[in-house]
Structure 1
Amino acid sequence: MRFTTFSSPLGDLLLAGDEAGIRHLRFDTERIEPGWEHDDTALARARDEILAYLAGRRRQFSVDIAPHGSQAQREVWAAVRRIPYGTTRTYGELARRLGDDVAVITVTRAVAANPLPLLVPCHRLVTTGGPGSWPGGASLKRRLLALEAGDAAAG
């Protein structure tokens, strides 16, 4: 697994991936797993796409992703990726879209386990009472939602 760290408007980020795609995007740049190899070049395209998104110049990502997770988690993450830029869904709405056998708790747990915030845009999922939590914190989630809404003050 290769990794890189870089500065962003959200703070320092860590990206890790292999030949299958990007596997981790972390806000904790100290959480490097044993055996990972530092390689800025291999992850430059993903880094550049993330920075362009955070600058408001990109709405979708084209890099391959390969998050580890259960089948249920991967189905939820795929559904989250289909939420359009600038749009939100509630956890309940997403569960209903996935079918009767998917409970809100399944969606909530999958989102909490999302190893690729931003690339799997779980910040677009909100509670019925407001933004809800996010791995990078509620304040950063509000900034991302404002960015996608076109609010120039978001950056």
Structure 2
Amino acid sequence: MKFDTSLGPLWLDANEHALTTVSYTELSESPTANSAILKQAKDEILAFLAGDLTNFTVPYEFTYGTSFQREVWQTLVEIPYGETCCYQEVAAKIGRSQAVRAIGQANRRNPLPIIIPCHRVIGKSGKLTGYTGSSSEGLAIKQQLLTIEQR
């Protein structure tokens, strides 16, 4: 499902039971995608972007990713709305204090940005670093998401 947002177009995909992908780039929708879940995800994302939602309830599922990546993604969900932490804090939280760069790579591969809030992870200095890669467009989106959470 494609829809327009204040961040630009987003694409969603799901399986029969859960949301599987939120993408800033075009993707094909699975023929088995549950349309009710796609609609719920769309509605929740739009409400989040409007500042009207702080917690997502749409069911989601990781359909790929290493066990390390999945552990990182699950840890990101624990970062409270409106707060940030640094990559080093995420690494320490999962008991891998030397894995700071790997945390960044796991964030980059996050299949459910916005829902799994990798935008809440910033550099140790407080500087915004990487989002959907290191492009200026990605950093602008990260800033928009953080600004929404500071309202």
TM tier, smaller: 0.7 to 0.9
More strand by share: 1
SS at match of 1:137: helix
Q: Percent identity?
A: 35
Residue of structure 2 in register with 1:105 after alignment: 101
Q: d(CA) in 2 for partners of 1:62 and 1:126?
A: 25
Residue of structure 1 in register with 2:44 after alignment: 49
The 8 Å contact of residues 3 and 11 in structure 2, kept in 1 or not, is answered as yes
The gaps in structure 2 that reach 5 residues or longer are none
Q: d(CA) in 2 for partners of 1:102 and 1:45?
A: 38
The letter of the residue matching 1:103 is A
Shift of 1:41: 3.6
Query: Aligned-residue CA RMSD in angstroms?
Result: 1.9
Shift of 1:86: 0.3
Shift of 1:21: 1.1
Q: d(CA) in 1 for partners of 2:112 and 2:33?
A: 18
Q: d(CA) in 1 for partners of 2:65 and 2:31?
A: 22
The letter of the residue matching 1:50 is I
Shift of 1:69: 1.1
Matched, 1:37 2:31: yes
Q: Structure 1: which 4+ aligned runs deviate by more than 6 Å?
A: none
SS at match of 1:51: helix
Equivalences, count: 144
Matched, 1:7 2:8: no
The gaps in structure 1 that reach 5 residues or longer are 151-155
1:25 aligned to which of 18, 22, 25: 22
Cα displacement string for residues 52-77 of structure 1 (whole angstroms, at most 9, x for unaligned residues): 00000000100111122111111100
The 8 Å contact of residues 88 and 97 in structure 2, kept in 1 or not, is answered as no
- What TM-score, normalized by structure 1, do the two folds share? 0.86
The 8 Å contact of residues 15 and 32 in structure 2, kept in 1 or not, is answered as no
Shift of 1:113: 0.7
SS at match of 2:105: helix
SS at match of 1:37: coil
Residue of structure 1 in register with 2:65 after alignment: 69
The letter of the residue matching 1:22 is L
Residue of structure 2 in register with 1:146 after alignment: 147
Cα displacement string for residues 68-120 of structure 1 (whole angstroms, at most 9, x for unaligned residues): 21111111000001000000000001101111466112211110110110011
The letter of the residue matching 2:78 is R
Shift of 1:126: 0.3
